[in-house]
Structure 1
Amino acid sequence: MTSTRTVVRRAALAATAVTAALVLSACAGGDHSDTASGAHPSPSPSADATAGATAGAHNAQDVSFAQGMIPHHRQAVEMAALAADRASSARVKDLATRVEKAQAPEIRTMSGWLKAWGEDVPSAAPAADDTDGMDHSGGHGGDTGMAGMMDRKDMDRLAKSSGKAFDSMFLTMMVEHHEGAVEMAEAEKAKGKYAPATALADDVISAQTAEIEEMNKLLGKNEG
């Protein structure tokens, strides 16, 4: 079943790339943005909180959130880093820069929490393998805590692309990736106990929801 979903999603990515290329060609040289997100918000005080702030209880959901979001953010940063010399659209490059600047500090913050709690910090951010049983359709990773993660083949395809093809593939993949992050953050807000973690989750929801809207506009999708 995982193989079937992967084939279906790749077909959808390819179809989106064809239609999005025309839209992106009109935006490629643009220096402006008509989206609500503007510049990505600077990390909030919650994102800058140090691991030394161990006062205040945390629970299993807080640990799961940090351990899942760290590799999730790392993959987003990996994707964003590819845009510098592969993207053709100035707006795509700007978005990628904002993603990288926002999420790298959050990785450090969450790693600090885990160390202070005596929990394992994920050592790497491998893309999900096709055979790992994860459901990538619609950006849902079930109970894995890795909703929206790309598999290795998707990452390889992105790395090998360039120009308008890269732009459309990057945006399509990053929308799914962001949707997964928002899903994980909503779970933290609902079940988490550690105030800095729930505050960071709120930041993720606000920033990445705005970026999803921005990316859908670049892809030529009208959200009403």
Structure 2
Amino acid sequence: MTIRTVHRVLAIGAIAIAGTALTACAPTTTHSGMPGMTHAAGPTPSATANDADAMFATMMIEHHRQAIEMSDALLAKTGVDPRVVDLATRIKVAQAPEITTMRGWLADWGVPSAAPGSMDHGDGMMSDADMAALDAASGPEAAKLFLEQMIAHHEGAVVMARTEKADGLDPSAVALAVAIIRAQTAEIAEMKGLLAQL
């Protein structure tokens, strides 16, 4: 079994535990729009979250973590267009606090966080080879590669956030999903504009 397979198994296990923890934390009621879907009754976040919320927070933490890693790789370089440096800085500043927020939700919901690196390469996640290419690039080449990779990364995040908006129950998690859709859609347009100018 490869390390990547182990990480994937750990992520799936964390999500399975999340579902068990959320359904066990309080009495449940059937969600009228989705037969068989249940959510806990009560005013606290742990009593209003469902499996979609747990999945969103667990996976978006890992997604944000990689975006910050990509931004750090870009920010460590010299000779990069200042507009791309500014974008990478803004991404890092925006997403780090969101990770903290989502970790807090998981703790409140009694859901374990997935192990770092446990996400597969869907949803816009970069592969090890992608990350190595960014690390090896320099100057204008690094700026272009960062933009190309981050566009794909953001597009994956928007898909994940739209799923949470449609299926999530916790108001704070759904609100974050809406904010991610808005912010990252705007950044995708910005990055495409920058790419056209480099």
TM-score range, shorter chain: 0.7 to 0.9
Q: Quick one: distance in 1 between partners of 2:180 and 2:157?
A: 7
Q: Quick one: distance in 2 between partners of 1:55 and 1:154?
A: 37
In 1, are the aligned partners of 2:46 and 2:108 still within 8 Å (CA)?
no
- What's 2:89 paired with? 97
Match among 66, 69, 80 for residue 78 of structure 1: 69
Of the two structures, which has the highest relative contact order with CA contacts closer than 8 Å and spacing of 6 or more?
A: 1
In 2, are the aligned partners of 1:182 and 1:204 still within 8 Å (CA)?
yes
Matched, 1:211 2:173: no
The letter for the 2-side match of 1:169 is: L
Q: Quick one: distance in 1 between partners of 2:76 and 2:108?
A: 38
**CA deviation profile, 1:32-54 (whole Å, cap 9, x unmatched):** xxxxxxxxxxxxxxxxxxxxx53
Q: TM-score, normalised by structure 1?
A: 0.65
In 2, are the aligned partners of 1:84 and 1:93 still within 8 Å (CA)?
yes
- What's 1:65 paired with? 56
- What's 1:153 paired with? 129
Q: Unaligned 5+ residue runs, structure 1?
A: 1-52, 129-133, 135-140, 142-146
Displacement, 1:56? Answer: 4.9
Displacement, 1:82? Answer: 1.4
Q: Quick one: distance in 2 between partners of 1:70 and 1:188?
A: 14
Structure 1 vs Structure 2 CA RMSD: 1.6
Match among 111, 125, 131 for residue 117 of structure 2: 125
Displacement, 1:126? Answer: 5.8
Matched, 1:116 2:108: yes
Q: TM-score, normalised by structure 2?
A: 0.73
The letter for the 1-side match of 2:109 is: W
User: What SS is found at the alignment partner of 1:220?
Assistant: helix
Q: Unaligned 5+ residue runs, structure 2?
A: 1-43
Displacement, 1:123? Answer: 3.3
Q: Quick one: distance in 2 between partners of 1:80 and 1:92?
A: 10
